[in-house]
């Protein structure tokens, strides 16, 4: 598929160069060229997006199939512990007199403590209180595969079986390059379009100023770079919208949902807040939320890539300017120093001459 | 004499300057990253440590409450000798209690086994996972101040870590290339002069025979027939391509554009390149820029590092081999599920060192991944350039 993309784009570019050089006036050729460009665009940009989504869906189906019928001995263990705890409590009640409250309390507290330790150990080893069928629903598996190949790694859903682990490693090995391709592509496209938007807006305002000042329109020759503050505004707006959305859905407060958005978009992904993990929620609602979260994270990654591209450009320009300024400064200083040195030398010479 | 001394002095000054630049650029960045992490560890410990104590005492109160409830509502109200009813009631109560425990553990309560979750070393690992964007999530901030500080800490720390990665990745890539060149290409150093002769001759041959029109595969034949026979009696079959790469890339620089051999590129000078690493490698920098390490070597190196990590953690944490490899992969690819975290299952007094060892392993491993990416990118670009040239040549032929 990729090869085809590259091929088609190369082909179209060759053809377009030819057509512009030789037959500029032929409208038919022009239309054909436009069509070809459009197809190339569809294959490269939209194609990569579709590839990512397809890969995620494929992975979700695969992981669901692998993990759904994994035996979970932790559930059995917990049930057994509870049984034994009840038994012990009954024994205590039988052995001591009922009316001896302190003794009873002391012993039952001890039993409860053992029970509690067992359960907390089980939780550390992956007990969540839910059966694998509950956990590995399709949207959850989709979220899992997204969190694997975007390197977020929420960790609220993890593979338990050996095959699950092995296939996760293989899936990540192939998924991460695809995702990086998506990241670069999406970043480039979004950066270009955003830059275009910014430049048109900029020029509109600029032209009016120029009209007022000079009375004639001067075409702006110098390259306009989007300042990084604009990128930061876009990102913060995106995070804000995510904050409001998740806050309304998940009943998190605003701090928590901001925290969730930032942690997700930075690819840290602690997994302490995950949408759709609310136990009290109904199944369909949580599924919808997971799908929307999927889209939110993918789009957000594209935006982050865009901002990264634009900010790199901006920073490069700034660094170049700074370097030139520094060089100027340094030249100035060296000039001054040499002048001073010469002066003092001159002064010393005069003094020695005077002494003589 | 004076002139020689001055030259020596300037050379020493150059060495010192190079050393200082190295210190500031590479060591400085590493020290900065470590200092940032340690500072973050202290900060998070201060912020989160207080609320943790409160949670532990909360849980103790919860247990007392349950016992009280069992006494008052179950044992006193029900008849004592009705065993089944009593057991049923107690079981229901215990289920409720279990839910509470699950909830509490999810919210970060640690079973009361290790008394302090936010010890210095675990906070260190936490801030490490934040700036490397691994994010295990075995520890996460509970207080609102902790969350806010985490956000800003990540926003500041991630560019810093990226800087570290690119810097150290470049450095390691250069070293790796040097080592690769030394070990795999000339195998010990008597090959230097010979290689220079070969190089010179190849340039001469190029200048004589090179014309614009060439068949696409001329380089392989050329390097095979003209150069290889005299220096190396056995060009091994399992390593044919690095050598070919070497020759190809040596004879690369625009053969058609400057047909004369460069005066700088003569064999009497070891060619001090301006942008090369440092003058220690003067002989190696001679071709360190043109060497590309094959992708398979990078992949093998990474797999070796993974296996080393899995052995290390397998010994340390008593995981089996697959789990160790899984942990290393998930960590190094910065996914970080957090289902396996060192020091999480086996509660030993060594837990502190285990955290520190883990974070060091991660730092080094991330840099190695960056190095491999660098090398692989170079190699891919090299292939791409070759392909482009071949295509161009074919295209020109057809015209």
Is residue B321 predicted with pLDDT exceeding 50?
yes
Residue with tokens 């086996």: B346
Q: How far apart are CA B315 and CA A193, in angstroms?
A: 53
CB-CB neighbors (< 8 A) of B325 in chain A? 169
pLDDT band at A14 (very low <50, low <70, confident <90, very high): very low
Which residues in chain B (332-361) have CB-CB distances under 8 A to chain A?
333-339, 344-345
CA atoms within 13 A on the CB side of A168: 35
Q: Which residues of A touch B64 (CB under 8 A)?
A: 109
Band the pLDDT of B18: cuts 50, 70, 90.
Answer: confident
Query: B178 vs A4, A226, B43, B169, B399, CA distance in Å?
Result: 38, 41, 41, 14, 42
Q: Are the Cβ atoms of B63 and A112 closer than 8 angstroms?
A: yes
In the three-class reduction of DSSP (H, G, I as helix; E, B as strand; rest coil), residue A352 is classed as: helix
Residue A19 scores a pLDDT above 50: no
| CB proximity B283 to A under 8 Å | no
Cα–Cα distance between B301 and A141 in angstroms, integer?
Answer: 32
Task: Tell me how long chain A is.
Answer: 356
Cα–Cα dist A300/B129, whole Å: 21
Q: Which residues of A touch B158 (CB under 8 A)?
A: 266
Distance CA B157, CA B29 (A): 12
How far does the CA of residue A107 sit from the closest CA of chain B (Å)? 9
Distance CA B173, CA A221 (A): 41
Nearest to B303 by CA among B355, B368, B239, B359: B368
User: Where are any strands of DSSP class E within A123-202?
Assistant: none
Q: Which of A65-74, B22-31, B340-349 has the lowest mean pLDDT?
A: B340-349
Q: Would you list the domain boundaries of chain B?
A: 2-175, 191-285, 295-398
Residue burial A341-354, b: 16+ Cβ < 10 Å; e: rest: eeeeeeeeeeeeee
**C-alpha to C-alpha distance for B112 and B193, rounded to whole angstroms:** 68
> Residue B305: what pLDDT?
94
Confidence bin at B218 (pLDDT 50/70/90):
very low
Q: For residue B96, what are its two tokens?
A: 């409720």
| Residue B68 touches chain A, beta carbons under 8 Å | yes
- Greater confidence (A294 vs A12) lies with A294
The pair of structure tokens assigned to A75 is: 């559930």
**pLDDT tens readout for residues B85-95:** 777 777 887 78
Partner residue opposite B135 with nearest CB, options A126, A162, A270: A270
Contacts of B336 in chain A (CB under 8 A): 153, 155, 269
The residue behind tokens 């978009």 is A265
**Does B147 contact chain A (CB < 8 Å)?**
yes
pLDDT digits (tens, 9 = 90+) for A62-97: 999 998 877 777 778 888 888 888 888 777 777 766
- Burial class, B281, CB count within 10 angstroms (exposed 0-12 / middle 13-18 / buried 19+): middle
Q: What is the pLDDT of residue A46?
A: 83
Using CA atoms, how far apart are residues B335 and A155, in angstroms rounded to an integer?
Answer: 9
- Confidence grade of residue B201 (pLDDT, cut at 50, 70, 90): very low
Report residue B205's pLDDT band, with 50, 70 and 90 as the boundaries: very low
Selected residue with higher pLDDT from A32 and B186: A32
Span B268-314, pLDDT tens digits: 344 444 444 444 444 444 455 567 788 898 999 999 999 999 998 88
DSSP structural state of residue B320: -
> Whole-number mean pLDDT of chain A?
80
What's the pLDDT score for residue B193?
A: 39
Structure-token match 């490698």, residue found: B281
Does A7 score more than 50 pLDDT? no
Residues 6+ apart with CB under 8 A from A332: none
Distance (Å, rounded) from C-alpha B152 to C-alpha B159? 12
Tell if the CB–CB gap between B94 and A82 is shorter than 8 Å.
yes
Check: complex ipTM more than 0.90: no
* Tens-place pLDDT, residues A39-68: 888 777 788 888 999 999 999 999 999 988
User: Which ranges in A125-161 belong to alpha helices (H)?
Assistant: 132-135, 138-149
Query: Quick one: average pLDDT of B247-265?
Result: 40
Phi and psi at residue B293, to the nearest 5°: -85, 130
- Tell me, what's the pLDDT at A167? 93
Q: What is the Cα–Cα distance from B43 to B373, expressed in whole angstroms?
A: 33
Residue of A195, A187, A67 whose CA lies nearest to A138 = A67
Residues of chain B neighbouring A78 (CB-CB closer than 8 A): 98
* Rounded Cα–Cα distance for residues B193 and B184 (Å): 17
Most confident of A54-58, A65-69, B20-24, B351-355: A54-58
Identify whether the C-beta of residue B342 lies closer than 8 Å to the C-beta of residue B358: yes
CB pair distance less than 8 Å for B90 and A128: no
The pLDDT-based confidence of A281 (bands split at 50, 70, 90) is low
Q: What does the DSSP assignment read for A8-42?
A: HHHHHHHHHHHHHHH-SS-HHHHHHHHHHHHHHHI
CA B37 to chain centre: 17
> Which CATH number applies to B2-175?
1.10.287.70
> Is B2-175's fold the same as B295-398's?
yes
pLDDT in tens, B118-140: 888 888 889 999 999 988 887 88
Average pLDDT, chain B: 72
Stronger pLDDT, A8 or A110, i.e. the higher one: A110
Average pLDDT over residues A212-231: 64
B326 in contact with chain A, both atoms CB, cutoff 8 A: yes
DSSP element (H, E) containing B119: none
Q: A301 to chain B nearest CA, in Å?
A: 14
> Which pLDDT score, from 0 to 100, does residue B98 have?
78
Predicted pLDDT at A156? 82
Region A203-219 average pLDDT: 59
Interface-testing mutation among B40, B84, B94, with chain A (most A C-beta atoms within 10 A): B94
The residues, any chain, with a CB within 8 Å of residue B21's CB and separated by 6 or more, are: none
The pLDDT of residue A169: 92
C-alpha dihedral sign at A51, A57, A60, A61: negative
CA torsion sign for A148, A153, A156, A158 is positive
Q: In whole angstroms, how far apart are CA A180 and each of A149, A185, A302, B333, B358?
A: 9, 8, 10, 13, 27
pLDDT, residue A114, reads: 82
Q: What is the pLDDT of residues A299-344, one digit of tens each?
A: 999 999 999 888 888 889 999 999 999 999 999 999 988 888 777 7
Structure confidence at residue B3 (pLDDT): 64
Whole-number pLDDT of residue A71: 74
Q: Give the closest residue to B330 by CA, choosing from A301, A155, A184.
A: A155
Interatomic CA distance for residues A98 and A111, integer angstroms: 17
CATH topology of domain B295-398: Helix Hairpins (1.10.287)
**B99–A269: do the CB atoms touch at under 8 Å?**
no
- Please check the confidence at residue B231 and state whether its pLDDT lies above 70: no
Confidence label for B44 from pLDDT (cuts 50, 70 and 90): very high
pLDDT of residue B353: 79
Task: Decide which of B288 and B21 is more confident.
Answer: B21
Hey, are the CB atoms on A153 and B64 less than 8 Å from each other?
A: no
Residue of B nearest to A99 (CA): B76
């Amino acid at each position: 598929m990729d090869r085809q993309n590259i091929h088609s784009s190369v082909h179209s570019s060759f053809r377009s160069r030819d057509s512009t050089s030789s037959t500029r006036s032929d409208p038919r050729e022009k239309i054909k060229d436009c069509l070809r460009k459009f197809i190339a665009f569809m294959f490269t940009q939209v194609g990569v997006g579709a590839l990512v989504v397809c890969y995620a869906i494929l992975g979700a189906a695969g992981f669901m199939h692998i993990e759904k019928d994994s035996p979970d001995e932790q559930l059995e263990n917990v049930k057994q512990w509870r049984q034994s705890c009840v038994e012990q409590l009954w024994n205590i009640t039988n052995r001591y007199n009922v009316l001896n409250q302190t003794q009873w309390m002391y012993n039952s507290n001890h039993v409860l403590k053992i029970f509690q330790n067992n359960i907390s150990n089980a939780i550390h080893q992956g007990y969540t209180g839910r059966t694998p069928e509950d956990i590995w629903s399709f949207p959850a598996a989709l979220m899992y595969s997204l969190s694997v190949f975007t390197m977020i790694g929420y960790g609220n859903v993890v593979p338990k079986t050996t095959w699950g682990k092995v296939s996760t490693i293989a899936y990540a090995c192939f998924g991460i390059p695809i995702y990086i391709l998506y990241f670069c592509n999406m970043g480039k496209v979004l950066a270009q379009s955003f830059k275009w938007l910014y430049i048109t807006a900029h020029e509109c305002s600029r032209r009016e100023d120029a009209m007022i000042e000079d009375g004639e329109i001067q075409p702006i020759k110098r390259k306009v770079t989007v300042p990084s503050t604009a990128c930061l505004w876009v990102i913060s707006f995106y995070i804000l919208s995510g904050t409001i959305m998740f806050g309304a859905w998940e009943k998190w407060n605003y701090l928590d949902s901001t925290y969730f958005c930032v942690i997700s978009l930075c690819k840290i992904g602690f997994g302490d807040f995950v949408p759709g993990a609310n136990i009290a929620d109904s199944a369909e609602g949580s599924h919808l939320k997971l799908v929307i979260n999927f889209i939110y994270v993918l789009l957000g990654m594209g935006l982050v890539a865009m901002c990264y591209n634009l900010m790199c450009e901006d920073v490069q320009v700034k660094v170049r300017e700074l370097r030139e300024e520094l060089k100027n400064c340094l030249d100035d200083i060296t000039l001054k120093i040499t002048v001073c040195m010469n002066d003092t030398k001159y002064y010393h010479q005069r003094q020695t001459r005077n002494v003589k | 004499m004076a002139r020689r001394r001055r030259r020596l002095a300037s050379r020493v000054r150059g060495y010192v300057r190079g050393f200082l630049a190295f210190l500031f650029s590479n060591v400085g960045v590493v020290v900065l990253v470590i200092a940032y992490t340690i500072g973050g560890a202290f900060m998070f410990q201060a912020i989160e440590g207080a609320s943790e104590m409160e949670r532990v005492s909360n849980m103790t109160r919860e247990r007392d409450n349950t016992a009280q409830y069992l006494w008052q509502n179950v044992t006193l109200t029900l008849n004592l000798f009705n065993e089944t009813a009593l057991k049923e009631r107690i079981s229901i109560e215990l289920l409720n209690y279990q839910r509470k425990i699950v909830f509490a553990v999810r919210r970060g309560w640690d079973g009361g086994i290790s008394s302090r979750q936010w010890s210095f070393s675990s906070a260190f690992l936490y801030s490490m996972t934040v700036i490397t964007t691994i994010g295990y999530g075995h520890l996460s901030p509970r207080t609102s101040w902790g969350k806010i500080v985490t956000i800003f800490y990540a926003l500041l720390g991630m560019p810093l870590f990226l800087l570290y990665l690119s810097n150290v990745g470049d450095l390691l890539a250069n070293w790796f290339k040097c080592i690769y060149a030394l070990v795999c290409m000339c195998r010990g150093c008597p090959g230097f002069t010979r290689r220079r002769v070969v190089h010179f001759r190849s340039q001469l041959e190029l200048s004589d025979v090179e014309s614009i029109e060439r068949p696409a595969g001329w380089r392989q034949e050329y390097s095979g027939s003209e150069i290889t026979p005299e220096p190396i009696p056995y060009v091994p079959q399992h390593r044919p391509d690095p050598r070919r790469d070497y020759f190809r890339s040596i004879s690369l620089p625009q053969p058609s554009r400057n047909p004369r051999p460069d005066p700088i590129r003569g064999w009497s000078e070891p060619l001090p390149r301006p942008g090369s690493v440092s003058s220690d490698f003067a002989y190696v920098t001679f071709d360190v820029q043109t060497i590309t390490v094959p992708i398979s070597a990078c992949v093998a190196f990474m797999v070796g590092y993974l296996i080393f990590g899995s052995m290390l953690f397998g010994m340390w944490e008593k995981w089996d081999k697959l789990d160790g490899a899984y942990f290393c992969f998930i960590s190094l690819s910065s996914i970080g599920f957090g289902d396996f975290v060192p020091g999480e299952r086996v509660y030993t007094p060594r837990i502190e060192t285990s955290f520190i060892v883990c974070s060091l392993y991660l730092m080094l491993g991330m840099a190695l991944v960056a190095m491999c990416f660098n090398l692989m990118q170079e190699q891919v670009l090299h292939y791409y350039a070759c392909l482009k040239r071949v295509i161009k040549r074919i295209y020109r032929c057809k015209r």
